[in-house]
Amino acid sequence: MTNVERHAYDVVVVGAGGAGLRAAIEARERGMRTAVICKSLFGKAHTVMAEGGIAASMGNANGHDNWQVHFRDTMRGGKFLNHWRMAELHAKEAPDRVWELETWGALFDRTKDGRISQRNFGGHEYPRLAHVGDRTGLELIRTLQQKIVSLQQEDHAETGDYEGRLKVFQECTVTRVLKDGDRVAGVFGYVRESGRLFVIDAPAVVLATGGIGKSFKVTSNSWEYTGDGHALALLAGAPLINMEFIQFHPTGMVWPPSVKGILVTESVRGDGGVLRNSEGKRFMFGYVPDVFKEKYAQSEEEADGWYADPETHRRPPELLPRDEVARAINSEVKAGRGSPHGGVFLDVSTRLSPEEIKRRLPSMHHQFKELADVDITAEPMEVGPTCHYMMGGVDVEPDTAAARGVPGLFAAGEVAGGMHGSNRLGGNSLSDLLVFGRRAGLFAAEYAAGLPAPERPAAGEEQIDEAAAEALRPFGAEAGDGGPDAGDGGSGAAVENPYTLHQELQQVMNDLVGIIRRGPEMERALQHLAELRVRSRRALVEGHRQFNPGWHLALDLRNMLLVSECVALAALERTESRGGHTRDDHPGMDRTWRKVNLVCELAGKDEAGHGTAAATAPTAAGDAAAGPGTARAEDAAGPDGAAGMSGASGPVSTGTAASVSLRRRPMDPIRPDLLDLFERDELLKYLTDEELDA
């Protein structure tokens, strides 16, 4: 029996960003004893890097704005692959969540008449983003953190215990969701500082772990974003959807190399910044796709007039959805018209006075001055695409945020799929995590309340022992023993360095499954990932469990490799270009693909023997030989053709670790009254004739 520290709660929230804290607040206010597990320090979640604002149709800057307009913009941005019910709930409830933050102490920028100020952002028809300069995410986390503290103070006044009903476990990592049969029973994890193992028994678990960006070489994401929640859900038996759709934010820093990928907020463009190539040309006018041409300016004069008179001018093309802008920048650089360091120029200095820039964009002014010695009040910035956001995630019920197929598991924020479709609009992330963070906490609390203590699931000791053995494996990796589980085919292969494996993974994803994708390259990526998965079992770390970042990375590699496989597999399968998924060999958007969700699941048993993933190949060489699939039958038949799924549809060989399978699932039909919000001519660009006539 493994020696672990054990706790018991009603609801466990994994992740302490905006979605996690909002879920924890809701669960606690519903009377549940709630634990929050934070991978970093409390208040240091990646949400603080969300700079531009919270999208909510409050109508403070333009009285024409309402939830229906916000819903339309969100569906257009996601190229109609969004789950329409999630988009509807989000648009309707976002204003209440912003006003709620204000009652909890959030200090938003104000209009002249004292209302919450709202700014322009890409893809939004009206100024919609409630903001605090360009530090909105920081203020959001500060407000939620303070709300947590206030609830703890209330509990202390009533019970004498600050943490009796709501406790934050800082600098801890969860490695497994524990189960009793098909139901959630709690989580297994370790304390990063000491290496101490722990179990929290709970009938309801909310995943709010954010994204997967550290699988890519160039990313705006912080170190915590290693796909933990995606992998935890998959290993627990929950499906993932839309994993092919990754947003590459168009504006990340490109120089110096040490800061490459750090986010440059869309607020710069929302406040008037323009994009120019090395020839000084404002190039975005040449990249407005047909589906957006009616709404975006075709000349600089018209675009410039929009800022003062939006009623009679069309929007500047710099404010197109992020996927369009990122592809345009990529094309300019490839054509040899990029900046000296491989980006393009973003200039706000010719639009606003130095004082106004410092007031509206204080973080950007400080960031470029300190990190790149660039004064954005007097000169342009160099920017380029950076891996920013994962649209895919846990397949959840729209109203409850409950993960499909795993009773007691919930997900909210970036780790949940469906809300954003194929591309997320800027500002919709913060409102998403508030709306669905609250819903996840609410329904997790209701679920837990419906299970009295004698009926609650409990994880067996064998499962806990297996989780502990998995966590401690890097201290005794399978190196050179010649055994079948070593994955070395008896070759006595040497141990692996987790840092080397991580660098190779990032390079593979960046080069072969990046912003522009091709079928043969993604097949190569799947082969490389299979080899890396085998080698990762030989990742060895030295020293003790205390203060051991190599051990932490070795455990994170499981998650990053598993999620990367899902991304590559789904991207190979979807033979069209849509939103955050661009195929150079299939450049067009196919209406028949709009009806299809690609669902990733595990098959067989995983490396811990939990019966959720399978070891399907004895060697890395065998994986490479087998490849990711066989004949691409669906290329001829199309998404709905009789040929069905390609060879990639079954379990895909990934070495002796987890094996992922892929299947297609039809999209739920959009409710007729919501379709009526769009003109038929616009819907014809996205929906099939059969969908429109149904």
Cα–Cα distance measured from residue 193 to residue 196, given in angstroms and rounded to the nearest whole number = 8
What's at 526, amino acid-wise?
A: L
Cα–Cα distance measured from residue 100 to residue 284, given in angstroms and rounded to the nearest whole number = 38
- The continuous run of DSSP H or E covering 75 comes out as helix 67-77
Respond yes or no on whether the N-terminal peptide bond of residue 256 is cis (omega within 30° of 0). Answer: yes
Q: Are 275 and 282 in contact (CB under 8 A)?
A: yes
**Cα dihedral sign for 305, 308, 313, 318?**
positive
CB-based burial label for 42 (10 Å; 0-12, 13-18, 19+): middle
For residue 190, give the 3-state DSSP assignment: strand
For residue 344, give the 3-state DSSP assignment: strand
- The continuous run of DSSP H or E covering 529 comes out as helix 519-536
Cα–Cα distance measured from residue 36 to residue 113, given in angstroms and rounded to the nearest whole number = 39
User: Which residues have CB under 8 Å from 690's CB, separation 6+?
Assistant: none
110 catalytic residue (yes or no): no
By C-alpha distance, which of 186, 188, 180, 230 is closest to 204?
186
Tokens (6 digits) for 145: 């953190």
Cα–Cα distance measured from residue 112 to residue 170, given in angstroms and rounded to the nearest whole number = 41
Q: H helices of 205-286, where?
A: 228-235, 267-270
Q: Strands 129-130 and 166-169, how do they pair?
A: unpaired
For 587-650, give the secondary structure using H, E and C. CCCCHHHHHEEEEEEECCCCCCCCCCCCCCCCEHHHHHHHCCCCCCHHHHHCCCCCCCCCHHHC
- The continuous run of DSSP H or E covering 185 comes out as strand 183-191
Q: Are 415 and 206 in contact (CB under 8 A)?
A: no
Rounded to 5°, the CA angle 539-177-560 comes to 40
By C-alpha distance, which of 606, 501, 528 is closest to 175?
606
Q: Are 21 and 43 in contact (CB under 8 A)?
A: no
Cα–Cα distance measured from residue 545 to residue 475, given in angstroms and rounded to the nearest whole number = 9
CB-based burial label for 489 (10 Å; 0-12, 13-18, 19+): middle
- φ, ψ for residue 252 (rounded to 5)? -120, 160
Which entry of 322, 517, 538, 591 is annotated as an active-site residue? Answer: 322
Q: Are 491 and 482 in contact (CB under 8 A)?
A: yes
User: Which residues have CB under 8 Å from 150's CB, separation 6+?
Assistant: none
Q: Are 96 and 31 in contact (CB under 8 A)?
A: no
- Sheet with 118-119: strands ordered across: 54-55, 129-130, 118-119
Q: Are 665 and 645 in contact (CB under 8 A)?
A: no
By C-alpha distance, which of 282, 287, 278 is closest to 301?
282
**Cα dihedral sign for 24, 29, 30, 35?**
positive
Helices 498-512/549-573 angle, 10° precision: 20
By C-alpha distance, which of 508, 509, 498 is closest to 555?
498
| Residues catalogued as catalytic | 322
